[in-house]
A and B are shown apart, each in its own frame.
Chain A
Amino acid sequence: NAGVTQTPKFQVLKTGQSMTLQCAQDMNHNSMYWYRQDPGMGLRLIYYSASEGTTDKGEVPNGYNVSRLNKREFSLRLESAAPSQTSVYFCASSARSGRWGEQFFGPGTRLTVL
């Protein structure tokens, strides 16, 4: 099992460009999450999907959109990238309620916006 996979691993964008970060999990988990991690700020939740077909905002959703394509895949889109979105982005997944705090993380995408 690959666990949680993310693509790409690195990306450099210019201000105003758009891109989609891809995430997939092969653990048959219901819930999936997108976080960003900035120095001194800890992990902050951007969006999450409690189950296939549902998405909800997290702590810092502005400037992002998400799509839960199916049970395995959860993508994060930046429509018009800004330098403030320079960060490391992590996707995570967890099993059904009762254990969803035990999250499995992907390796991350390092995004730089110039």
Chain B
Amino acid sequence: EDQVTQSPEALRLQEGESSSLNCSYTVSGLRGLFWYRQDPGKGPEFLFTLYSAGEEKEKERLKATLTKKESFLHITAPKPEDSATYLCAVQRDQGAQKLVFGQGTRLTINP
């Protein structure tokens, strides 16, 4: 069974304090790994797609990386507006159009 586990569940940082969020996955034949951001009371917003181990994607203060077993979302010098829940999802190679989501990491950046 496909599984996605995100850690930590919650993370508090000071503004400017860099850190990483982890997404570990178990899936038979990874087709893609996706990162989303979700603000309170809103729907998730797509951030990145990663397809193969070694791939990296960047957007502003965020950088996502992928290995064969996990993905990291690195946050460099975060600002309070980066506070959100970050969701990771995987698509398996076989089967229909289904994403399996992790439970998310709730990130709070204090000014």
B42, A31: Cβ atoms closer than 8 Å: no
* Interchain nearest-CB distance for B95 vs A (Å): 10
How many chain A residues sit at the interface, stated as a range, is 20 to 34
A56, B96: Cβ atoms closer than 8 Å: yes
> For residue A42, which residues in chain B have a CB less than 8 angstroms away from its CB?
4, 87, 101-104
Number of residue pairs spanning A and B whose beta carbons lie under 8 angstroms apart: 57
* Interchain nearest-CB distance for B40 vs A (Å): 11
Among listed B13-21, B44-52, B56-64, interface-contacting one: B44-52
* Interchain nearest-CB distance for B57 vs A (Å): 12
B99, A101: Cβ atoms closer than 8 Å: yes
- CA separation between A43 and B43, bound complex, in Å? 11
* Most A Cβ at <10 Å: residue of B44, B49, B91, B99: B99
A41, B46: Cβ atoms closer than 8 Å: no
Mark each residue of chain A from 89 to 103: 1 if its CB lies under 8 Å from any CB of chain B, else 0.
010101001001111
- CA separation between A50 and B96, bound complex, in Å? 9
Tell whether A103 pairs with B102 under 8 Å between CB atoms, given A4-B43, A43-B87, A108-B43: no
Mark each residue of chain A from 1 to 42: 1 if its CB lies under 8 Å from any CB of chain B, else 0.
000100000000000000000000000000100000000111
A-B interface, 8 closest residue pairs, ranked by CB to CB distance from nearest: A105-B43, A43-B101, A42-B103, A42-B101, A101-B32, A102-B46, A105-B44, A101-B34
